[in-house]
């Protein structure tokens, strides 16, 4: 590695026929890392200017897009060239811009644009990453997600609904991936702890016609959650119980308890206490389902160990854990038959189940 790090070796490798291909590939990958922040900001501009939505109506010139967005034509041309280089758009023979497959997916993925807009605060928190790592930044994300510090910080309805709205818009895709991995056919009554407006509970109830689901979340989200569940085609099998898993007992009667994007919001001691509550409330052979973005563990993975890892750091609580680490915490709590499922899309979620058996 010391040899590869020498500038002289890099010059030689770039010129030598047998190594220049590898050197060029390494250079391109390094530059892609270097320019990553520019890509994210271009994406933010595309969302804010609603460029991809405007292209849903058909091909448009940069001039036409500029007029609609209130930009100078040459600046819009710059944006569209960048979007095309990022494979979000393509240019036709007339020089007009059209949506590419990736751009259409950007418009179609639930909650993605909301998350990109939300990144405005994350970008500011990452402005000085060394200060962030040293714990010297009073981050905006810590204020955006107050519930992770305890129910006393999340009793304001407006604040709670703000983050619950954001979560709900992306929860559909998380629910779909989770239910594609974990089989709930044997579940009669499910308790979804920290379930927000009930997106996962509803998805599970719709997929399994005999399943009853109860959402357990903070009182501040109760009104919106109940209204949302009442509109569901499975409304008669969906329920809401207000409470905090930190301070209140869990509702009893469930044979499966789900934690969907909950554990990585909290420090180990909170997780240990929650898992202890869960195993005490489950019957023998009751099951725990955990679904959230996870670290790659021994094999670090980009979405978990870069994006979500630093997002949790900016939240100032919680951490992204590997499936092995979550399994260890479950085992210590008394669970067995711990199974991690191969993830279709680690950047969306990874799932793990554990069973309470007589010890």
Distance CA 250, CA 281 (A): 7
What is the model's pLDDT at position 5? 56
Q: What is the largest CA-CA distance in the chain?
A: 71
The 10s digit of each residue's pLDDT in 52-106 is: 999 999 999 999 999 999 999 999 999 999 999 999 999 999 999 999 999 999 8
Q: Is 284 exposed, middle or buried (0-12, 13-18, 19+ CB in 10 A)?
A: exposed
CB 320 within 8 A of CB 312: yes
What is the model's pLDDT at position 126? 94
Identify which of 314, 315, 341, 316 has the alpha carbon closest to the alpha carbon of residue 326: 341
CB 193 within 8 A of CB 245: yes
Pairing of strands 89-91, 97-99: antiparallel
Query: Which comes out higher in pLDDT, residue 154 or 341?
Result: 341
What is the model's pLDDT at position 151? 46
At 187 the three-state DSSP class reads coil
The two tokens of residue 159 are 């604040």
pLDDT surpasses 80 at 241 = yes
Query: Which comes out higher in pLDDT, residue 72 or 109?
Result: 72
Mean pLDDT of 297-308: 94
pLDDT surpasses 50 at 152 = no
pLDDT surpasses 80 at 232 = yes
pLDDT surpasses 80 at 23 = no
Q: Is 243 exposed, middle or buried (0-12, 13-18, 19+ CB in 10 A)?
A: middle
What is the model's pLDDT at position 220? 87
pLDDT surpasses 60 at 359 = no
Of 97-106, 107-116, 154-163, 208-217, the range with the lowest mean pLDDT is 154-163
Please name the fold of domain 35-108: Arc Repressor Mutant, subunit A (1.10.10)
What is the model's pLDDT at position 307? 94
pLDDT surpasses 60 at 199 = yes
Pairing of strands 256-260, 238-242: unpaired
Q: Is 120 exposed, middle or buried (0-12, 13-18, 19+ CB in 10 A)?
A: exposed
What is the model's pLDDT at position 287? 97
Tokens 């357990």 correspond to 216
What is the model's pLDDT at position 147? 59
Mean pLDDT of 212-216: 97
Whole-number Cα distances in Å, 149 to 112, 153, 163, 270, 317:
26, 7, 14, 10, 8
CATH 3.40.50.150, the chain: domain bounds: 114-356
Tokens 């190594």 correspond to 19
The 10s digit of each residue's pLDDT in 252-299 is: 999 999 999 999 999 999 999 999 999 999 999 999 999 999 999 999
CATH 3.40.1050.10 fits 114-356, yes or no: no
pLDDT surpasses 80 at 160 = no
Query: Which comes out higher in pLDDT, residue 52 or 1?
Result: 52
The two tokens of residue 138 are 């009073």
What is the model's pLDDT at position 81? 97
What predicted TM-score, i.e. pTM, was given to this entire model?
0.86
Q: How confident is the model at residue 113 (pLDDT cuts 50, 70, 90)?
A: confident
pLDDT surpasses 60 at 134 = yes
CATH 1.10.10.10, the chain: domain bounds: 35-108
Q: Which helix (H) or strand (E) is 289 found in, with range?
A: strand 287-292
What is the model's pLDDT at position 110? 75
């Amino acid at each position: 590695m010391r040899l590869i790090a020498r500038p002289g070796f890099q010059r030689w490798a770039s010129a030598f026929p047998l190594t220049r291909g590898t050197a060029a590939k390494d250079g391109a990958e390094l530059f892609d890392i270097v320019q990553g922040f520019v890509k994210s900001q271009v994406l933010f501009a595309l969302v804010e200017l609603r460029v991809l939505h405007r292209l849903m109506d058909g091909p448009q010139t940069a001039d036409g897009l500029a007029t609609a967005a209130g930009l100078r034509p040459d600046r819009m041309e710059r944006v569209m060239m960048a979007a095309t280089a990022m494979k979000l758009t393509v240019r036709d023979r007339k020089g007009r811009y059209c949506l590419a497959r990736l751009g259409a997916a950007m418009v179609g993925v639930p909650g993605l644009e909301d998350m990109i807009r939300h990144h405005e605060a994350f970008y500011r928190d990452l402005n000085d990453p060394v200060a962030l790592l040293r714990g010297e930044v009073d981050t905006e994300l810590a204020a955006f997600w107050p519930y992770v510090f305890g129910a006393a910080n999340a009793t304001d309805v407006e604040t709670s609904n703000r983050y619950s709205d954001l979560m709900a818009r992306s929860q559909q895709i998380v629910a779909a991936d989770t239910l594609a991995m974990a089989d709930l056919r044997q579940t009669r009554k499910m308790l979804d702890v920290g379930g927000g407006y009930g997106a996962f509970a509803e998805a599970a109830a719709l997929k399994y016609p005999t399943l009853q689901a109860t959402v357990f979340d903070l009182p501040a989200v109760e009104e919106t959650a109940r209204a949302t569940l009442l509109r569901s085609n499975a409304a008669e099998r969906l329920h809401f119980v207000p409470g905090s898993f930190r301070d209140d007992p869990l509702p009893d009667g469930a044979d499966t308890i789900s934690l969907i994007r909950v554990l990585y919001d909290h420090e180990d001691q909170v997780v240990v206490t929650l898992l202890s509550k869960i195993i005490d409330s489950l019957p023998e052979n009751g099951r725990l389902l955990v679904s959230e973005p996870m670290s790659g563990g021994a094999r670090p993975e980009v979405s978990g160990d870069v994006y979500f890892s630093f997002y949790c750091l900016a939240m100032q609580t919680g951490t992204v854990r590997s499936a092995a680490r979550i399994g260890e915490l479950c085992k210590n709590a008394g669970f067995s038959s711990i199974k991690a499922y191969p993830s279709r899309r680690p950047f969306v979620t990874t799932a793990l189940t554990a069973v309470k058996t007589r010890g």
